[in-house]
């Protein structure tokens, strides 16, 4: 039996942390779909054509050590706006979503485009300022020199690009449960997400 949990939201809202915890709780496989676009973005920064990079992406590309850098994050957002790139990665994501044993996918268009039939959908949000502060602390911990104003500007620019693109814009699915993590601890956010998935499972069985 397959059971798909789609978790979407903007950068640094907490969807990755929540998704990994939810997958571990249920024993489901997890896919951070953003890594697919980051890997394509990284290859593009290295000189590759983004569409060709998407079509020839391998599992090894997802293990690159630079996928969490700010430059790659911005490149990922830009290549994700290219319809041909998104089309090249759709089949991989959909096959993963319907695997036996259950799957959790997090990204920006999982519940709306990749898996509109997902049994449970969450849309994780937080204010731009909270998300920028989280990203700023994360970068500083990694030794990346930056300042809060720059990170906040990057967050807002990425939001505008992700929400404004013509192909698969970032938005909640009509039947997604919205989860605002602005003032929640990690444990509280994960517990709220699990409660929402439990409810979706209960409704499916009735």
Helix (H, G, I), strand (E, B) or coil at 31: strand
pLDDT at 206 over 80: no
- Residue-wise pLDDT tens digits, 114-138: 999 999 999 999 999 999 999 999 9
pLDDT at 80 over 80: yes
pLDDT at 141 over 80: yes
Confidence at 70, pLDDT banded by 50, 70, 90: confident
Output the six-digit token pair for 120: 């449970």
CA–CA gap between residue 11 and residue 14 (Å, rounded):
8
Beta bridge partners of 122: 7, 177
CATH number at residue 57: 3.40.50.300
| DSSP state for residue 60 in the 8-state scheme | G
Beta bridge partners of 8: 107, 123
Q: In degrees, to the nearest 5, what angle opens at C-alpha 161 toward C-alphas 157 and 165? A: 170
**Cβ atoms within 10 A of the Cβ of 185, count?**
9
- Residue-wise pLDDT tens digits, 96-105: 999 999 999 9
Q: Is the pTM of this model over 0.85?
A: yes
pLDDT at 191: 98
- Residue-wise pLDDT tens digits, 7-64: 999 999 999 999 999 999 999 999 999 899 999 999 999 999 999 999 999 888 988 9
Residues forming the annotated binding site for ATP? 9-17
Q: What are the DSSP calls for 123-153, one per residue?
A: EEE--HHHHHHHHHHHHHHTT----HHHHHH
Domain that includes residue 76, residue range: 4-205
CA–CA gap between residue 19 and residue 181 (Å, rounded):
13
When pLDDT is averaged across residues 109-114 and rounded to a whole number, the result is: 96
74 vs 194: which has the higher pLDDT: 194
Average pLDDT, the chain: 94
CA–CA gap between residue 9 and residue 12 (Å, rounded):
8
Q: Which residue has the tokens 């485009």?
A: 113
Residues of the chain with pLDDT > 70: what percent? 100
Beta bridge partners of 177: 122
Residues of the chain with pLDDT > 90: what percent? 83
Residues forming the annotated binding site? 9-17
Structurally, how many domains does the chain consist of?
Answer: 1
């Amino acid at each position: 039996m397959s059971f798909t949990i789609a978790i979407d939201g903007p950068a640094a809202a907490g969807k990755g942390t929540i998704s990994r915890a939810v997958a571990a709780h249920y024993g489901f496989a997890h896919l951070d779909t953003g890594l697919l676009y980051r890997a394509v973005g990284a290859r593009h920064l290295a000189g590759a054509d983004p569409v060709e990079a998407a079509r020839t992406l391998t599992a090894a590309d997802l293990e690159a050590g630079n996928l969490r850098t700010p430059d790659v994050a911005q490149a990922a957002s830009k290549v994700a706006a290219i319809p041909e790139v998104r089309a090249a990665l759709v089949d991989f994501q959909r096959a993963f979503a319907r695997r036996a044993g259950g799957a959790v996918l997090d990204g920006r268009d999982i519940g709306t485009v990749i898996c509109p039939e997902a049994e449970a959908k969450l849309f994780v949000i937080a204010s731009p300022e909270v998300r920028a502060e989280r990203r700023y602390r994360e970068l500083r911990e990694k030794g990346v020199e930056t300042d809060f104003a720059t990170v906040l500007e990057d967050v807002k620019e990425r939001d505008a690009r992700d929400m404004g693109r013509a192909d698969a814009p970032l938005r909640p699915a009509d039947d997604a449960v919205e989860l605002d993590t602005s003032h929640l601890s990690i444990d509280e956010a994960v517990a709220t997400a699990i409660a929402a998935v439990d409810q979706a499972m209960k409704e499916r069985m009735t």
